[in-house]
Amino acid sequence: MNDMTPTREQRSAALEGMGCKRKRVEDIRFTQGKGNYVDDVKLPGMLHGDFVRSPHPHARVKKIDDSEALKVPGVLAVITAETLKTVNLAWMPTLAGDVQMVLADGKVLFQNQEVAFVVATDRYAADDGINKVVVEYEPLPPLVDPFKSMDKDAPVLREDLAGKTSGAHGPRKHHNHIFEWTVGDKDLTDAAFNKADVKIKEMISYHRTHPSPLETCQCVCSFDKIKGELTIYGTFQAPHVIRTVVSLIAKLPEQKIHVIAPDIGGGFGNKVGAYPGYICAAVASIVTGKPVKWVEDRIENLTATSFARDYHMTTEVAATKDGKVTGLRVHVLADHGAFDACADPSKWPAGFFNIVTGSYDFPTAHLAVDGVYTNKAPGGVAYRCSFRVTEAAYCIERAMDILAQKLNMDPAELRLKNFIKPEQFPYHSALGWEYDSGDYHTAMRKMMETTGYAALRKEQTEKRAAFARGETREIMGLGVSFFTEIVGAGPSKNCDILGIAMFDSCEIRMHPTGAGIARVGSKSQGQGHETTWAQIIATEIGIPADNIMVEEGNTDTAPYGLGTYGSRSTPVAGAAIAMAARKIKAKAQMIAAYKLEVHEDDLEFDIDGFRVKGLPEKFMSMKDICWAAYNSVPPGMEPGLEAVSYYDPPNMTYPFGAYLCVMDIDVDTGVYKVRRFYALDDCGTRINPMIIEGQVHGGLTEAFAIAMGQEIRYDEVGNVVTGSFMDFFMPTAVETPHWETDFTVTPSPHHPIGAKGVGESPNVGGVPAFSNAVNDAFSFLGSTHIQMPHDFWRNWKAAKALGAVA
Partner 1 sequence: MAKTHVTMKVNGAEVEGLVEPRTLLVHFIRENLQMTGTHIGCETTHCGACTVDIDGMSVKSCTMFAVQAEGSDITTVEGMANADGTLSALQEGFRMMHGLQCGFCTPGMIMRAHRLLKENASPSEQEIRMGISGNICRCTGYQNIVKAIQYAAAKINGVEFREAAE
Phi-psi region of 528 (alpha: psi -120 to 50; beta: other; left: phi over 0): left
Is 307 an interacting residue with respect to partner 1 (CB under 8 A)? Answer: no
Contacts of 774 (CB under 8 A, 6+ apart): 477, 479, 663, 665, 672, 707, 786, 790, 795
Contacts of 284 (CB under 8 A, 6+ apart): 47, 49, 77, 79, 117, 119, 221, 292
Nearer to partner 1, 365 or 691 (CB): 691
Count other C-beta atoms under 10 Å from residue 412's C-beta: 22
Helix, strand, coil fractions of the chain, as percent rounded to 5: 30, 25, 45
Is 213 an interacting residue with respect to partner 1 (CB under 8 A)? Answer: yes
Piece in contact with partner 1 (CB under 8 A), picked from 109-117, 499-507, 631-639, 719-727: 719-727
Is 68 an interacting residue with respect to partner 1 (CB under 8 A)? Answer: no
Sheet with 474-484, edge to edge strand ranges: 474-484, 656-666, 672-682, 740-743
By CB under 8 A, name the one of 8, 10, 13, 23 that touches partner 1. 23
Q: Is 760 an annotated catalytic residue?
A: yes
Q: Contact, 157 vs 140, CB < 8 A?
A: no
Piece in contact with partner 1 (CB under 8 A), picked from 55-63, 325-333, 738-746, 770-778: 738-746
Is 236 an interacting residue with respect to partner 1 (CB under 8 A)? Answer: no
Is 546 an interacting residue with respect to partner 1 (CB under 8 A)? Answer: no
C-alpha Rg value of the chain to the nearest Å: 28
CA neighbor of 717 nearest in space, from 376, 306, 304? 376
Is 468 an interacting residue with respect to partner 1 (CB under 8 A)? Answer: no
Nearer to partner 1, 483 or 739 (CB): 739
Q: Which residue out of 114, 485, 552, 760 is catalytically annotated?
A: 760
Question: What mask of x and - would describe binding to partner 1 in positions 131 to 160, judged by CB under 8 A?
Answer: ------------------------------
Piece in contact with partner 1 (CB under 8 A), picked from 157-165, 208-216, 363-371, 653-661: 208-216
Q: Which residue out of 53, 208, 384, 398 is catalytically annotated?
A: 384
C-alpha 243/C-alpha 236 separation (Å) is: 10
Q: Tell me the residue type at 130.
A: I
Is 527 an interacting residue with respect to partner 1 (CB under 8 A)? Answer: yes
Nearer to partner 1, 123 or 199 (CB): 123
Phi-psi region of 275 (alpha: psi -120 to 50; beta: other; left: phi over 0): beta
Question: What mask of x and - would describe binding to partner 1 in positions 591 to 620, judged by CB under 8 A?
Answer: ------------------------------
Q: Could you tell me the smallest distance in angstroms from the CB atom of residue 113 to partner 1?
A: 21
**DSSP secondary structure code for residue 443 in this structure:** H
Nearer to partner 1, 370 or 693 (CB): 693
C-alpha 320/C-alpha 407 separation (Å) is: 9
Nearer to partner 1, 166 or 732 (CB): 732
DSSP three-state, residue 570 = helix
Q: Is 384 an annotated catalytic residue?
A: yes
Q: Which residue out of 221, 280, 342, 385 is catalytically annotated?
A: 385
C-alpha 771/C-alpha 394 separation (Å) is: 9
By CB under 8 A, name the one of 14, 39, 168, 624 that touches partner 1. 39
Is 525 an interacting residue with respect to partner 1 (CB under 8 A)? Answer: yes
Is 71 an interacting residue with respect to partner 1 (CB under 8 A)? Answer: no
Q: Could you tell me the smallest distance in angstroms from the CB atom of residue 699 to partner 1?
A: 8
By CB under 8 A, name the one of 412, 575, 680, 691 that touches partner 1. 691
Q: Could you tell me the smallest distance in angstroms from the CB atom of residue 731 to partner 1?
A: 8
C-alpha 485/C-alpha 438 separation (Å) is: 11
Contacts of 243 (CB under 8 A, 6+ apart): 254, 257, 258, 259, 555
Q: Give the Å distances, CA to CA, from 711 to 223, 230, 370, 638, 789.
A: 39, 37, 22, 58, 7
By CB under 8 A, name the one of 105, 215, 496, 504 that touches partner 1. 215
Q: Could you tell me the smallest distance in angstroms from the CB atom of residue 21 to partner 1?
A: 8
**Half-sphere exposure (CA, 13 Å, Cβ side) for 342?**
31
Q: Could you tell me the smallest distance in angstroms from the CB atom of residue 690 to partner 1?
A: 5
By CB under 8 A, name the one of 247, 288, 494, 736 that touches partner 1. 736
Q: Which residue out of 113, 218, 237, 695 is catalytically annotated?
A: 237
Q: Is 457 an annotated catalytic residue?
A: no
Q: Contact, 673 vs 664, CB < 8 A?
A: yes
Q: Give the Å distances, CA to CA, from 359 to 206, 423, 484.
A: 20, 14, 6
Question: What mask of x and - would describe binding to partner 1 in positions 635 to 674, judged by CB under 8 A?
Answer: ----------------------------------------
DSSP three-state, residue 656 = strand
Residues 74-93, interacting with partner 1 (CB under 8 A): none
Contacts of 407 (CB under 8 A, 6+ apart): 198, 319, 321, 323, 414
Q: Is 398 an annotated catalytic residue?
A: no
Q: Contact, 248 vs 20, CB < 8 A?
A: no
Piece in contact with partner 1 (CB under 8 A), picked from 132-140, 562-570, 578-586, 696-704: 696-704
Q: Could you tell me the smallest distance in angstroms from the CB atom of residue 91 to partner 1?
A: 30
Is 124 an interacting residue with respect to partner 1 (CB under 8 A)? Answer: yes
C-alpha 436/C-alpha 595 separation (Å) is: 42
Is 410 an interacting residue with respect to partner 1 (CB under 8 A)? Answer: no
Q: Contact, 683 vs 715, CB < 8 A?
A: no
Nearer to partner 1, 48 or 309 (CB): 48
Piece in contact with partner 1 (CB under 8 A), picked from 207-215, 357-365, 565-573, 795-803: 207-215
Q: Could you tell me the smallest distance in angstroms from the CB atom of residue 534 to partner 1?
A: 16
Is 264 an interacting residue with respect to partner 1 (CB under 8 A)? Answer: yes
C-alpha 482/C-alpha 175 separation (Å) is: 39
Residue 726 exposed, middle or buried by CB count within 10 Å (0-12, 13-18, 19+): exposed
Total residues interacting with partner 1, rule: CB under 8 A: 58
- Give the footprint of partner 1 on this chain (CB under 8 A): 23-24, 26-37, 39-40, 42, 73, 123-124, 212-216, 263-266, 268, 297-298, 525-528, 690-691, 693-695, 697-698, 700-702, 724-726, 730, 732-734, 736, 738-741
Q: Mind telling me the catalytic residues?
A: 237, 384-385, 760
